[in-house]
Amino acid sequence: MQYALLFYAEPGLAESLSAEDLADAQAEYAELAEDGRFRDCARLLPPESATSVRRSGGRTLLTDGPFADTEEVLGGVCLVEAADLDEALDLAARAPLLRLGGTVEIRPVVRS
């Protein structure tokens, strides 16, 4: 089954890291990407680069920035292939983001 790992962190986390800590985290992510269960991963640009689309009264409304104003923002997403939730949890637990204070949300992917 596929699971989405959604990576959340406070804005500016990467910029607040020392060059050594950032290099270590990037190396750990590269190692994770080599695990055959990781299907695809993408880092997102900051929330300021987002455009939100809504429908209201039959009109399409565009808003610069994210829809929700939260302390943590979605910074990336990975699709993984795991036998069950426990295996997906084990994969998520390897993310360096966790030791840096971020959160990894896990959701099953539904294919129709």
So where are the chain's domains?
A: 2-108
CB 55 within 8 A of CB 39: no
The total number of residues shown for the chain amounts to 112
Residues 97 and 40: their CA atoms lie apart, in Å, by: 17
pLDDT tens for the chain, 112 residues long, are 999 999 999 988 988 999 999 999 999 999 998 999 999 999 998 888 989 898 999 999 998 877 666 788 899 999 999 999 999 999 999 999 999 999 999 999 998 8
Residues 22 and 11: their CA atoms lie apart, in Å, by: 15
Type of residue numbered 56: S
Per-residue model confidence as pLDDT tens digits over 25-49: 999 999 998 999 999 999 998 888 9
Is the domain defined by 2-108 classed in CATH 3.40.800.10? no
Type of residue numbered 8: Y
For the record, the structure tokens of 41 come out as: 């991963």
Partnered with residue 52 across adjacent β-strands are 63
